Structure 1
Amino acid sequence: MNEPAEAELICSAKGCRTPAVWVLAWNNPKLHTPDRRKTWLACDEHREYLSRFLSLRDFLKDVVPLPDWRAQEAER
């Protein structure tokens, strides 16, 4: 039996359909515990824009290349 293909991960920027290459880990300290991480995905073009958006709100915790994030998640 064939396994389903993994869905292509796309950039989280509004209207962007480009494949993601970055993971932006963030949390809202008013809503989340300090160890909780939410994620947005970004293409090269939108990484800086999305990072700046989260940083201005003091939400951004880390920016990691997607393959590295997947490797970290696989270890957990």
Structure 2
Amino acid sequence: MTETEPDWCSAKGCRSAATWALLWNNPKLHTPERRKTWLACDEHREQLSDFLAARTLLKEVVAHTTGREPLPGEGPR
């Protein structure tokens, strides 16, 4: 059995395992049901959420599970 690497936090330079999925959508570019994903560790969850929320792009924050199937409308990461 091989151990897989965790999904990493999307914060610049962070190499912590992601524990959160920040689902977002840019209505100027994406259909309303489309969700893009940034991953975040506990330390960067608020920072990345605030960045997306300030631009009115953040739709939802959910717990991230490595290797999970994409949510409906969620595009590739």
Correspondence for 1:29 among 27, 44, 50: 27
Per-residue deviation at 1:7? 3.7
Moved over 3 A (4+): 4-7, 73-76
- CA RMSD between the two structures: 2.0
Number of residue-to-residue matches in the alignment: 70
Gaps of 5+ in 1: none
Residues 74 and 55 (structure 1), Cα distance of their counterparts in 2 relative to 1, 3 Å cut: closer
Where does residue 8 of structure 1 map in the other structure? Answer: 6
Q: Residue type matched to 1:13 in 2? A: A
How far apart, CA to CA, are the structure 1 residues paired with 2:51 and 2:24? 11
- TM-score where L is the length of structure 1: 0.81
Name the CA distance, whole Å, in 2 between partners of 1:20 and 1:61: 18
1:75 Cα deviation (Å)? 8.1
The offset of 1:48, in angstroms, is 0.1
Note the alpha carbon deviations across 1:1-38, whole angstroms, 9 max, x for none: x6x65442000000000000000000101000000000
- TM-score of the superposed pair, with normalisation by structure 2: 0.80
More helix per residue: 1
**Secondary structure of the residue that 2:15 maps to in structure 1?**
coil
Structure 1 distance, partners of 2:70, 2:34, is 17
Percent of aligned positions with the same letter in both sequences?
Answer: 61
